[in-house]
Amino acid sequence: MNPAPRVLAVLDELIHGATPEQRGAIWQLAEQGRELDANLVRLPPGAEVGTHREDVLDVLLVVLDGDGRLDAGDESLGLTPSTVLWLPKTSRRALTAGPDGLAYLTVHRRRPGLTIKPAPTSYEGGEPPCLLDLVCSSCNHLSQDPEPLFCSRCGDRFA
């Protein structure tokens, strides 16, 4: 079967149809066989995605609505509609929505799926480590950060 191009979402409709308090990923690319991931993220006025970094992937961020800023170390970048940012892997950043909120699209290479591997032959008892504290309770994203504060996908705070 040869896949055909098709409309997956109308982002303006999703953004303007969101409730004022709605935050996080309000749309995600979920097509089978894709090589990309994309998320439409909405932050209400004044909301933040705390300092975090993506250790594995470069991310392209496109501001669609509202305003805000991206803080990266000593640098603060203003965000307005049509701003396109490249967030290289391992870069530390934080986002803050302005008084009108902020809606942006992130696009990156798709992460490989989680796999179950056989236990190592040199395993010396006890239970294997649990990774649940690295899984976002809002969007089920597995963080690559060993001590995450905020989800790099939806921006919610880890418990």
Q: How far is CA 67 from the centre of its chain?
A: 18
Top-ranked range on mean pLDDT: pick from 45-54, 78-87, 115-124: 78-87
Per-residue pLDDT band for 120 (boundaries 50, 70, 90) equals low
For residue 125, is pLDDT > 70?
A: no
Kindly provide the b/e burial profile for residues 70-83, where b requires at least 16 CB atoms within 10 angstroms of the residue's own CB: bebeeeeeebeeeb
* C-alpha atoms less than 13 angstroms from C-alpha of 109 in its C-beta half-sphere: 10
Which tens digit of pLDDT belongs to each residue from 61-72? Answer: 999 999 999 999
In this structure, of 89-93, 99-103, 123-127, 148-152, the range with the lowest mean pLDDT score is: 123-127
For residue 126, is pLDDT > 60?
A: no
Q: Which pLDDT score, from 0 to 100, does residue 153 have? A: 78
Q: Which long-range contacts (CB under 8 A, 24 or more apart) does 79-82 make?
A: 79/104
- The predicted model gives 101-110 an average pLDDT of 94
Residues 6+ apart with CB under 8 A from 117: none
Q: Which pLDDT score, from 0 to 100, does residue 147 have? A: 72
For residue 90, is pLDDT > 60?
A: yes
- Per the model's pLDDT, the better-predicted residue between 62 and 56 turns out to be 62
- Per the model's pLDDT, the better-predicted residue between 134 and 128 turns out to be 134
**Which domains are delineated in the chain?**
11-112 (2.60.120.10)
Closest C-alpha to 96, from 6, 23, 28: 23
